[in-house]
Copies of this chain bind each other. A is one copy, B any other.
Amino acid sequence: MDNQLTTELKERYGIVFHDVNLLEQAFTHSSYVNEHRYLKLSDNERLEFLGDAVLELLVSQYLYKQFPEMPEGKLTKMRAAIVREDSLSKFAKECHFDQYILLGKGEENSGGRTRPALLCDLFEAFLGALFLDQKVDAVKKFIAEVIFPKIDAGAFSHEMDHKTHLQEVLQRQGDVHIDYRLVNEEGPAHDRIFFVEVFVNEKMIGTGQGKSKKLAEQDAAERALKKNPE
């Protein structure tokens, strides 16, 4: 196995595999297996199958707990945004996994090392290998470093409307009363602008404006979030 990979995993994430073969398999692309048949290697596809499911559960569990008021439809959208190819391939790169994957020459020459689908599969395969090697809590610890902080920082919150997001953030600190108040309207009927203030437990935390009351409320929530990031 690549020594640099094992060193990096240990130093960055405190991960040491018991069964190094599993780690090796996670970083072996089918194109490499096909070009080195005599080595009788296994590629990472079955591990990817498993890792995909482990990730789905851990992300679901995290969202369920972090957003106790979020309806199922929004949870599902957010989960989809987190586990989609494009997100996972970025995580793989951040972990430098792209440097260590074993590829066949054809795959290498056609740019496989930067291909999102390949990196996404690699990331899932790594999770699958870690799951088999050290059970689910080790995987949870790893993605608590790599993924969860990004969820908390709102990286996937474009899937949420701002009012819901603000509610979620505030309610983490306990029971709060959130109130949107229309404070002004300006302009002619066909081009009216609405001004709204948002209050939490009677304290004003943001103002917003928009062409409808609803839009003004969203604007106020968005600005309040910017002033009070989670």
Contact = CB atoms under 8 A, between A and B. Distances in A.
B45 A64 contact: no
A126 to B, nearest CB: 15
B48 A72 contact: yes
A49 B45 contact: no
A56 interface: yes
Q: How many copies does the complex hold?
A: 2
Size band of the interface chain A makes with B:
20 to 34
A70 B45 CA distance: 11
Nearest to A51: B60
Given A45-B72, A48-B72, A53-B57, 9 more contacts: A45-B73, A49-B60, A49-B72, A53-B53, A53-B56, A53-B59, A56-B56, A56-B57, A57-B57
A48 B79 CA distance: 14
A53 B61 contact: yes
A56 B52 CA distance: 9
A54 interface: yes
A115 interface: no
A21 to B, nearest CB: 14
B49 A76 contact: yes
Contact of A46 (B46, B49, B52, B75): B75
Nearest to A60: B53
A149 to B, nearest CB: 21
A169 to B, nearest CB: 18
Interface string A35-75: 00000000001101110111011011100100000111101
